Amino acid sequence: MTQHFLRDLEHLKREILTVGAMVERAIEHATTALLERRADLAQRVIAGEREVDEMEVQVEEECLKVLALHQPVAGDLRFVITVIKVNADLERMGDHATHIAERALALSQVPEIPMPPGLDLMVRTVRQMVRSSLDALVTFDTAAAARVCAEDDVVDGCLREMFDYLEQAMRRDPEVTGRALHNLSACRNLERIADLATNIAEDLIFLARGEIVRHRRMRA
Partner 1 sequence: MLRSSFFWRLYAGSVGLILVALLVCVVLSTRWLEASAVRELEAELTDTARVLRELYFPEASAGFDVVRQEELRALGEEISTRITLLDAHGKVLVDTAEDPQAMDDHSQRPEVRAAREGRIPASSVRLSDTLAREMFYVALPVLDGAGELAGFVRTARETSPMGARLEPLRRAAAVAAILAALLALAMGLPFARRVTRALREMTSVAESIASGGYHERLHFPAHGELGRLGRAFDTMAAELELRVESVTTDRNRVHAILAGMVEGVVAVDREELVVHMNGVARRLLRVGAREVEGLKIWEATRLPEVREILVRSMEERRPVQGELSDSASEGPIIELRAGPLTDHRQQVVGAVLVLNDVTELRRLEGMRRDFVANVSHELKTPLTAIRGMIETILDDPEMTAETRQRFLTRVEEQAQRLSVLVTDLLTLSRLESHAPRAERERLDLREVVAGTLARFKPLALSKSIELAAQQPESEQWVSGDEEELRQLVDNLVDNALKYTPEGGRVQLRLRSIAPEGADRAFARLEVADTGIGIAPRDRDRVFERFYRVDKARSRELGGTGLGLAIVKHVALDMGGRVSLESIPGAGTTFRVDLPLQA
Which residues bind to partner 1, rule: CB under 8 A?
A: 10, 13-14, 17-18, 20-22, 24-25, 28-29, 32, 36, 38, 40-41, 44, 134, 138-139
**CB nearer to partner 1: pick between 9 and 162:** 9
Closer residue to partner 1 in complex, CB, 23/180: 23
Find out whether 55 and 19 touch, Cβ atoms under 8 Å.
yes
Q: How far apart are CA 47 and CA 213, in angstroms?
A: 36
CB of 38 to partner 1, least distance (A): 7
The least distance separating partner 1 from the CB of residue 41, rounded to whole angstroms, comes to 5
The CA distance from 19 to 56, in Å, is 7
Q: In the complex, what is the shortest distance from the CB of residue 131 to partner 1, in angstroms, rounded to a whole number?
A: 9
Contact 103, 119 (CB under 8 A): no
Min separation Cβ 23 and partner 1, Å: 10
130 vs 159, which CB is nearer to partner 1?
A: 130
CA-closest candidate to residue 96, choices 41, 152, 45: 45
Nearer to partner 1, 71 or 139 (CB): 139
On whether the CB atoms of residues 79 and 9 are closer than 8 A, the answer is yes
For residue 140, the minimal CB distance to partner 1 (Å) is: 11
Measured from the CB atom, is 54 or 153 closer to partner 1?
54
CA dihedral angle for residue 196, residue 197, residue 202, residue 203, rounded to 10 degrees? 80
The answer to whether the CB of 46 falls within 8 A of the CB of 163 is no
Report the C-alpha gap between 39 and 185 in whole angstroms: 17
